[in-house]
Amino acid sequence: MRLKILLLCLIIGGCGIKTKNKNKDFSDFNYNKQQYTKKSFKADELNVFDFNTLVLSNNANLEYNNSNYSFDINIKIRKNKKILISGGFIIPLFKILIEPDQILGYQKIDKTFFRTDFGDIYDKLGFTLDFNQIQNILTGEPLNEIISIANYNTYEIDKNLIVYEYVDDEFSVSLFFDTNLNKLIAQEIKQIELGRELSIYYKDFKETNNSMLYTISKITVNDGKNLINLYMSTNSTDTSDEILFPFEIPNNYRKIKF
């Protein structure tokens, strides 16, 4: 599998073993607007996950169109500075380093590497994503920077589910919050006319670093031509300050275009 396919899934990529499809027990939020009850909700009271350094060790399953792949994935984040993603089996088969001004990655199977910026993500998805927004996706926080929160309408879908929704002529953004947990549980960005979508779902929260962090997630990417579903289940977390971020592109690797 080409590395850039998985990079569409928010800079999470690599090669995996092809597997049979499994039931992931995730459902999209299909709701009737006419049944909304408008309600106020204070975003500044959210249970935000606070950290300096974070490591998430995950089992991942990728559905790419009609194919399925499984692999291990390790995500390291030094808040607001760098994100290192590696994956494979026993030993890393790929690594991706995300910094505020660039994205680098390499893959051992075909000995290739790339260097790009966040503009390429916009070219592929049609959505503007920067370093902080990718960081928020991986830590389960809202993408409030996409549009000012003041432009959202707020609705109560049921007793414990609130949605922020913004719609204009080009795209829609929906942010779903569990009022019991006071946490974000899903966010969806869609360009309906172009058939593009970026949706992220979180579930099975547990206390980590004196806050609540998801342990299961689903990322859906549709670029208008390909459909990607990435499921991740977290095996362990680490928030110690001694975490290292080793990254070096090996010699004799061939540069490829993102």
In a domain? residue 254:
no
**What is the mean pLDDT of the segment spanning 213-234?**
89
In a domain? residue 258:
no
Structure confidence by residue, pLDDT tens digits, 83-119: 999 887 666 688 999 999 999 999 888 889 989 888 8
In a domain? residue 152:
yes
Most confident of 5-9, 135-139, 144-148, 153-157: 135-139
User: pLDDT band at residue 23, thresholds of 50, 70 and 90?
Assistant: very low
User: pLDDT band at residue 228, thresholds of 50, 70 and 90?
Assistant: confident
User: pLDDT band at residue 181, thresholds of 50, 70 and 90?
Assistant: confident
CATH number where 185 lies: 2.50.20.10
Question: Count of domains in the chain?
Answer: 1
In a domain? residue 121:
yes
In a domain? residue 132:
yes
Residue 210 has pLDDT above 90, yes or no: no
Are the C-beta atoms of residues 175 and 142 closer than 8 Å to each other?
yes
Expressed as residue numbers, the domain containing 59 is 3-20+31-242
- Residue 20's pLDDT is what? 44
In a domain? residue 93:
yes
- Residue 206, C-beta contacts closer than 8 angstroms, at least 6 positions apart: 212, 213, 215
